[in-house]
Structure 1
């Protein structure tokens, strides 16, 4: 026992002496890693985005279904069928999908139907079908395509509930009230999906500009409406609190939708709970009239234009260019001329919006422009 105690005391003494020696000889705290890659301000590290044209792995163009008077959520009769419309969300379809889906469900509840046909398998269609199913309806989705071959797969995937939701001159109190009802319902429902297979994440979002923009829309994104206190608010940062070479920098937390897993998760849940899916290309009112269900919910997006002769509906095209995923990047950033958003399936660059364009051919020059704009921003970050 004495021998063991001796060696124990000797070991502890050697450890203390060794630590003292290391402390006295150390030049100070050492930061590991590339200082040009991590911008460290003590409490915050913002990794730089790796940007080069050879890291682009995909380019797509999606068409947003826009109506100047906002989403169409209303009921009409077609012969002996009741049609409930739910389409035309512009750039806010992902964010408002559950809210306008709930409004469409309330219209279905005014009928005596037990079986419902639903047209479309994008984010609005899947959300509406799920809500109807939760209310006890026997729902069949009819769609010519399913994820990933739907327009919803080509969206940016961020919480933007009033992005191009209507034209400014059409923003009546009634439209705003309907939007607010849908927005609040969607926001609550999105919180229920947090933690489910990482289909929704929260992350920091930055707006970086050389100069403060003029006008009321200082956040960009063509946001029409706002609800105080619903989402974390933008905070203007002092120059000492950010690494960007810019006079106007703002930050907030925001939701990001990991689109492929999100759509698959909710569609699979709908099917597991007894919902039905039929691959069918609906091309005319006669095709709708031939369905066995007496109540039909129309979530076709742009497909509704020709079938229901909606002259108000038109596309706003938006190109996205996807970079190889970068695991340490977990924020979104928008600057003059370009933005990027981080998702599980890649880092998406964007910045275009062309009204009334049906062209879905990617423009390589746009991609290269965004790479150049964001490369200049990254290069000028303080390190």
Structure 2
């Protein structure tokens, strides 16, 4: 075989091989040019559940309390009662609380609580040159913030729109925009925040998919996360007739809380495990300005009759590397994080019980299994 014949033969073989590889590659668009959503199935069974938890969301019908009041010779700045929106609003309401602290002229500040709201508030105060000490009953992971789903949902059970004032909506919008900007700075940093695909999968179009009574979004801001798009049945893997998709932000809670705590300490913050049980305990603190980020702990201490728990159970599946999406369907939802795939779907107003109930987990497994079984190859 001469050199020219060899090169011609090898070239033809390479083209044939490339053609074969291309034909075997997954297709991401159908023949009409529409994007295809090929979603990997979830491996789902009760024996893959490795953890069940119940978290209590601190809900106030009128919305989070962001206010300043005097307590003897101290100033108390309140920042609590975020409902299901604490993670998303933490930076924004922390900024509003910081603005109130700045009016006092104090540079030594106490923050009560080491959940996501307390940590964000403490970090923001450090950025203004404050010496901050966090006083907390427990440390992560033994805080309510560790038991959240961890997705961008700034208006989930944030208030009762029948009670909240128009002025509160303006406060919420300012907090939401500030928080969103801060989370953008954290993208790409140790996977503590990331964009994921979010699917709504229903047999038919829901009458009110964002019903606040079911934990849906009370308010909405255009221009932050992309709008949901309905997907034609031929363009997705699900067996349901109504499917929507959008990109949304997700927080990997263990790494996020670790990052926040580590950064706070690195910048000179002080931390004391010290339970606050009554107003006298606050009065005994050396700081003259105190930011209350205690969540439900504020109910009894500050006699807040409006504050009530909304319990939410989660069941954690073993992580599955190819499953990286969030899915919402009637009666259940899943969100895939680095530390596990979480199933949930309930919110019990006024319930203080933090004991997981296996029947809820079984119901969610059954619902999601049905969705997976109806998926097309």
Whether TM exceeds 0.5 here: the answer is yes
The TM-score normalised by the length of structure 2 is: 0.93
Cα shift at 1:230:
1.7
SS in 1 for 2:177: helix
Cα shift at 1:52:
0.7
- Matched with 2:240 is 246
CA deviation vs aligned residue, 1:226-252 (integer Å, no higher than 9, x gap): 011221111111111212122211111
**What is the rounded CA distance, in whole Å, between the counterparts of 2:22 and 2:188 in structure 1?**
40
- Matched with 1:176 is 169
**What is the rounded CA distance, in whole Å, between the counterparts of 1:206 and 1:239 in structure 2?**
13
CA deviation vs aligned residue, 1:338-364 (integer Å, no higher than 9, x gap): 000010000000001000000000010
The 1:294/1:245 distance shift into structure 2, 3 A limit, reads same
Cα shift at 1:27:
12
Structure 2: give runs of 5+ residues left out of the alignment: 27-33
In structure 2, which of residues 88, 93, 115 is the aligned counterpart of residue 100 of structure 1? Answer: 93
**What is the rounded CA distance, in whole Å, between the counterparts of 1:181 and 1:19 in structure 2?**
58
In structure 2, which of residues 180, 186, 196 is the aligned counterpart of residue 193 of structure 1? Answer: 186
Cα shift at 1:171:
2.9
SS in 1 for 2:98: helix
**What is the rounded CA distance, in whole Å, between the counterparts of 2:104 and 2:45 in structure 1?**
56
Structure 1: give runs of 5+ residues left out of the alignment: 1-5, 33-40
**What is the rounded CA distance, in whole Å, between the counterparts of 2:253 and 2:363 in structure 1?**
25
CA deviation vs aligned residue, 1:169-197 (integer Å, no higher than 9, x gap): 11321110110010000000110111111
Contact 2:318 2:341 in 1 (8 A): yes
In structure 1, which of residues 235, 241, 262 is the aligned counterpart of residue 256 of structure 2? Answer: 262
- Matched with 1:57 is 50
**What is the rounded CA distance, in whole Å, between the counterparts of 2:231 and 2:200 in structure 1?**
10
- Matched with 1:213 is 206
Matched ranges for 1:323-334 at <5 A: 323-334=317-328
Between the two proteins, the alignment pairs up a number of residues equal to: 369
- Matched with 2:287 is 293
- Matched with 2:152 is 159
The 1:81/1:23 distance shift into structure 2, 3 A limit, reads closer
Structure number, greater radius of gyration: 1
CA RMSD of aligned residues (A): 2.1
In structure 1, which of residues 12, 15, 27 is the aligned counterpart of residue 10 of structure 2? Answer: 15
My pick for the range that moved more, 217-226 or 259-268, is 217-226
Matched ranges for 1:273-352 at <5 A: 273-352=267-346
